[in-house]
C-alpha cells in the first residue's frame, strides 16, 4: 500500500488538507482502494488505535452506554458476534469488580484479559448451553450482539438472515437475563421487525432504537437497546 500525505508547504505556510490518499495498486479494485482510504482517514479508526481497541466498533457500544447506562459493576456479560473483540474490551473496562465477560464468535479472537472466549456458531444447537455453562448461575445481566450474517447481495434474502439473527439473539437474551437485565443488538434497515419489537416491548421496561455518532451515516445499521427486563 502506497500512502501519500499532504503536509505544510514551503515558507511556513500551513496546508489544511491532511487527507491521506491511497494510490491504486495494480490488481486492486477501486472499491478496495476507496475502503482503504476511508479507513486511513476515519477519526474513529485512529482513536481505536490510540486506545488499543481492536476496532472502531468499540466506540459504538461505548457511546450507547454513555447514553443508556446499561453497563455496571459486577455484571455477567455475554457478547455475541464478538470478533475482533472491541465490544468485549469496552465491557471489561466499564464493568469493574467481580464481573464476567463471555465472548462468542465463529472467528478466532486473540486473547483479551478478563474475557472468556468461545469459538463457535451461535446458531449451533449447543451454543446457548455452552454459553450458560460459563455464566455464574447460568444467568447474565446483559446480552450484547454485534452479529451480522454473510451477505448474499440479494436484499430480501439478506434481510431475512439479519432478522433471523436478531430474533435468535433476542430469544436467547429473554431466556438467560436476570430481572432488570439489558439487551443491546445491532439491527438493520429501519430497526427490528414488528413482531420482534412487540415481543421485546412486553418483556422489557424500555425498548429504543439508536444510532451512535461513531456509526457511519452511510451505514444502514442501527442499534436496539432494551432495558429493564421483567423476567
Q: Centre a 10 Å sphere on the Cβ of residue 182 and count the other Cβ atoms it contains.
A: 27
Say if residue 229 is exposed, middle or buried (CB neighbours under 10 Å; 0-12, 13-18, 19+): buried
Element (H, E) at 137: none
Q: Is-catalytic flag, 230?
A: no
The length of the chain is 231
Query: Of 21, 96, 186, 217, which is the active-site residue?
Result: 186
**Alpha carbons 88 and 117: distance in angstroms, whole number:** 10
**Alpha carbons 1 and 4: distance in angstroms, whole number:** 10
Residues taking part in catalysis = 186
Amino acid at each position: 500500500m502506497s500512502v501519500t500525505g499532504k503536509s505544510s508547504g514551503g515558507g511556513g505556510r500551513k496546508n489544511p488538507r491532511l487527507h491521506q490518499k491511497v494510490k491504486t495498486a495494480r490488481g486492486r479494485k477501486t472499491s478496495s482502494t476507496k475502503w482503504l482510504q476511508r479507513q486511513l482517514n476515519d477519526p474513529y479508526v485512529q482513536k481505536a488505535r490510540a486506545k488499543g481497541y481492536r476496532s472502531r466498533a468499540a466506540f459504538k457500544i461505548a457511546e450507547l452506554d454513555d447514553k443508556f447506562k446499561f453497563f455496571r459493576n459486577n455484571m455477567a456479560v455475554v457478547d455475541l458476534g464478538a470478533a475482533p473483540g472491541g465490544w468485549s474490551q469496552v465491557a471489561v473496562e466499564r464493568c469493574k469488580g467481580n464481573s464476567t465477560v463471555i465472548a462468542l464468535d465463529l472467528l478466532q479472537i486473540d486473547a483479551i484479559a478478563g474475557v472468556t472466549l468461545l469459538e463457535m456458531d451461535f446458531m449451533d444447537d449447543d451454543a446457548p448451553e455452552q454459553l450458560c455453562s460459563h455464566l455464574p448461575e447460568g444467568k447474565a445481566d446483559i446480552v450484547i450482539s454485534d452479529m451480522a450474517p454473510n451477505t448474499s447481495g440479494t436484499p430480501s434474502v439478506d434481510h431475512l438472515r439479519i432478522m433471523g439473527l436478531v430474533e435468535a439473539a433476542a430469544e436467547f437474551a429473554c431466556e438467560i437475563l436476570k430481572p432488570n437485565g439489558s439487551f443491546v443488538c445491532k439491527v438493520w434497515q429501519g430497526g427490528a421487525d414488528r413482531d420482534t419489537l412487540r415481543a421485546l416491548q412486553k418483556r422489557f421496561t424500555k425498548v429504543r432504537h439508536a444510532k451512535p455518532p461513531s456509526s457511519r451515516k452511510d451505514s444502514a445499521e442501527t442499534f436496539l437497546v432494551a432495558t429493564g427486563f421483567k423476567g
